[in-house]
């Protein structure tokens, strides 16, 4: 048994793939990864930008859509929907074999709607109804405006991947939105799922930059520690939130916990171990969504051990030390959220431009 399978079978963590492209579907490569132990897939506008701009796999469908008079934005969603549906079909057996725990594929709403609650709700509702698969996750960013949209969509029975979480305070808002949404649902809850996606390595990149600017020995000694500590504290908050009478009343109606998902788990600093953000965040009821290089590295030499809740008080002490050194964690999360949304909007806009140029060339 390989490490990907052991990660779930021995420690309850689901390895998902943080990438999707049509060539992997048509070549059978994605099925090979599923057979190896990949239990889900996430996508975002940046992932589709690389897939559609860097290959000709989409040209035939794009040409047909352009010939039929479809707009470039409509064509984008047609291209995305086909990839998502094909991936959903490949993962449907995993979804069924796990009783609905895994086998999900995530697609993100238009990132330009991050500050538009009503627009986000309408987009999420449209994607959910158009694709209409039980193993679909619609991704909604955890912005202040996204939180009420998450609650509404959970209340309507949609399964939601809450993305771009960078702070513990916002994470508590996300969990409350999920629980309140389930309470508003009013029926059987067994078909509604959610994950809450913490972006891990981006947090270290920003905090390390600020620690290095401070330059004190105390500050420099904290590099590479804050993101893992934040994830470990988040897991402690998760265990507390999904317990007690309020939660048990929902469990009686079929509710599932909203699993923490560790995203952005490739190491950006080459001085750090390439499996740092996998080895240190392993535990039950969690997901780690891995870029292919990190997936291969972990499967080859990752450390299999329950680590996510080994020392929650130590994790809190690390975050306290980071703040004591002079780092404003609230400002870090604000900057990262703005950058995260901005990156996805930029990728989305650039991809539409690229598809427009491709459509003209194909015509």
Distance CA 31, CA 285 (A): 24
Between the alpha carbon of residue 87 and those of residues 105, 138, 172, the distances in Å are 7, 14, 31
Q: Which of 6, 139, 268, 346 is catalytic?
A: 139
Q: Which residues contact 99 (CB under 8 A, 6 or more apart)?
A: none
**Whole-angstrom distance, CA of residue 285 vs CA of residue 196:** 11
Q: Where in 230-273 does DSSP place strands (E)?
A: 259-263
CA distance 218 to 230: 19
User: Could you give the C-alpha distances from 34 to 15, 25, 88, in angstroms and in order?
Assistant: 10, 11, 12
CA-to-CA distance for 209 and 32, rounded, in angstroms?
39
User: Which pair of tokens denotes residue 73?
Assistant: 């934005």
Residue 325 buriedness (CB in 10 A; 0-12 / 13-18 / 19+) = middle
194, β-bridge pairs: 160
Position of tokens 């975002």?
Answer: 44
d(CA 283, CA 325): 30
Tokens of 168: 């513990």
Q: Are 341 and 111 in contact (CB under 8 A)?
A: yes
| CA 151 distance to own-chain centroid | 18
Strand 40-41 relative to strand 286-290, pairing: unpaired
- Cβ-contact 181, 151 below 8 angstroms: yes
Q: Could you confirm whether 139 is annotated as catalytic?
A: yes
- From the list 45, 35, 50, the residue with the least C-alpha distance to 2 is 35
Active site (catalytic) residues: 139
């Amino acid at each position: 048994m390989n490490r990907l399978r052991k990660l779930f079978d021995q420690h309850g963590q689901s390895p998902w793939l943080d990438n999707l492209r049509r060539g992997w579907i048509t070549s059978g490569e994605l099925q090979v990864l599923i057979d190896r132990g990949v239990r889900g897939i996430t996508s975002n506008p940046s992932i589709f930008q690389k897939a559609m701009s860097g290959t000709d796999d989409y040209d035939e469908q794009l040409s047909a859509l352009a010939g039929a008079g479809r707009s470039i934005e409509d064509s984008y969603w047609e291209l995305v929907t086909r990839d998502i549906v094909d991936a959903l079909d490949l993962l449907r057996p995993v979804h069924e074999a796990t009783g609905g725990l895994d086998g999900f594929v995530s697609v993100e709403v238009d990132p330009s709607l991050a500050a538009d609650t009503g627009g986000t709700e309408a987009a999420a509702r449209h994607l959910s109804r158009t694709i209409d698969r039980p193993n679909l996750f619609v991704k909604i960013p955890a912005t202040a405006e996204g939180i009420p949209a998450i609650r509404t969509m959970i209340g309507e029975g949609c399964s939601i991947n809450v993305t771009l979480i960078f702070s513990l305070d916002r994470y508590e808002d996300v969990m409350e939105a999920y629980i309140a949404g389930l309470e508003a649902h009013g029926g059987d809850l067994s078909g509604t799922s959610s994950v809450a996606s913490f972006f891990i390595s981006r947090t270290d990149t920003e905090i390390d930059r600020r620690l290095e600017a401070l330059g004190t020995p105390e500050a420099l000694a904290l590099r590479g520690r804050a993101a893992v500590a934040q994830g470990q504290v988040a897991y402690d908050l998760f265990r507390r939130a999904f317990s007690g009478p309020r939660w048990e009343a929902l469990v009686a109606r079929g509710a599932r916990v909203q699993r923490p998902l560790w995203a952005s788990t490739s190491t950006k600093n080459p001085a750090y171990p390439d499996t740092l953000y996998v080895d240190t965040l392993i535990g039950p009821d969690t997901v780690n969504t891995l870029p292919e290089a990190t997936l291969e590295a972990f499967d080859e030499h990752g450390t299999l051990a329950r680590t996510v809740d080994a020392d929650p008080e130590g994790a809190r002490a690390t975050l306290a030390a980071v703040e004591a050194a002079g780092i404003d964690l609230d400002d870090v999360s604000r900057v990262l959220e703005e950058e995260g949304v901005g990156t996805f909007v930029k990728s989305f806009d650039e991809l539409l431009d690229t598809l427009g140029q491709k459509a003209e060339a194909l015509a």
